[in-house]
Structure 1
């Protein structure tokens, strides 16, 4: 799908640089300093999309600081609008295409990582691009604290099964495996835009939580 060009995006992003960080790579090791309450846990969403999830999480969990990264400008400005509308102070965004998260975060800087409806890259030749491929897991392990977790949500069962196997082969511990999230009645779940769309069509939403074994 072709994304619409937004000529106002650059100025809007600059005008809201208290939310959308202008030089994200310079924040490496210092992300907590962007928040008033620096002692809070720091949670990261990789591929924040249009921002419904991270804006909702920031509103629901005032005890946590959130960072969402997104590489598509026309998408991140939508997330910026949603976060700004919530008027929360515990959420920051970054428009960045990071090939390696270790360029953005130091070791043990993050408490929790969210992977929401990541591109499943279904063709075998694209396996290395999947965000649960071992090279990505190595990055997560580095930036996560020892007790940190990864939460993954997807509508794609093949990708979900692949991720479970990838986590297990990497030596991770599965804390949760949920094959139909919306049937559990989890009132704490904050849905993404994709999640609402697929769920309304009757598509099960899959979720798992995993941690790195010591």
Structure 2
């Protein structure tokens, strides 16, 4: 489905620098300064319309969250959620995940969430998958020792690929669910895509992996 362009999106983003952080490269190593409290920092790569990151921030006030979304036209929907919630522990970034090390210092992040990432199914696009080894290296650099990646998808091929990629990189597989919504996992917060896909009867896959 083609995304509708919203030419006014940049203006709206510019009007809310308290929520969508401008010039995030200047805060590398200093992210705790933008939050009211110094507490663990977790990021979601590909936040979409912001349901997951906002609900996580509501459920876990003891954690600081940053949602990362490249598309301005999508980010403004997340911005609306964040404005309405007005939570002190969630911020947004309009940046490319390829450049995470430009914005985060080594060992600055506690956890990374990857929810319903683009599967890039063609072999020639393997390097674009967010669970490819070059991304894993980047995650390892910005995550604290023992930091985790929590990954969800409805795409079986991407899930299988990701498990192999995680294993080949040497990550510890802490949790694997081949059908999340029929499992005993507690505290799951659905994304917009997750609700849409599960209502269609799609199986949701989830795993938690840890750098050793």
Same fold by TM-score greater than 0.5: yes
Aligned residues: 212
Secondary structure at 2:147's aligned position in 1? strand
What's 2:139 paired with?
140
Alignment match, 1:3: 3
| Contact residue 109 and residue 143 of structure 2 kept, 8 A | yes
Kept in 1: contact 2:45–2:97 (CA 8 A): no
Cross-structure match for 2:67: 68
Question: How far apart, CA to CA, are the structure 2 residues paired with 1:54 and 1:94?
Answer: 12
After superposition, give the CA deviation of every residue in 1:161-188 in whole Å (9 maximum; x if it has no partner): 1100100110110010011111125341
Using the size of structure 1 for normalisation, the TM-score is 0.96
Q: 1:175 maps to which residue?
A: 174
| Counterpart position of 1:188 | 187
Inter-partner Cα distance in structure 1 for 2:186 and 2:176: 17
Verify the 8 A CA contact 2:47 2:67 in the aligned structure 1.
yes
Moved over 4 A (4+): none
- Measure the CA separation in 2 of the matches of 1:68 and 1:200: 25
1:12 aligns with 2:3: no
Aligned residues of 1:41 and 1:110 also touching (Cα < 8 A):
yes
Q: Does structure 2 retain, via aligned residues, the 8 Å contact 1:70–1:95? A: yes
For residues 78-93 of structure 1, what are the structure 2 equivalents within 5 Å?
A: 78-93=77-92
Query: Hey, what's the Cα distance between the residues in 2 that align with 1:10 and 1:100?
Result: 20
Question: How far apart in 2 are the matches of 1:7 and 1:121?
Answer: 27
Aligned counterparts of 2:36 and 2:115: Cα–Cα separation in 1: 27
Please name the residue that 1:29 is paired with: 29
Q: Does 1:212 align with 2:211?
A: yes
**In the aligned structure 2, how far is the partner of 1:203 from the partner of 1:97?**
29
* Alpha-carbon distance, 1:135 to partner: 0.3
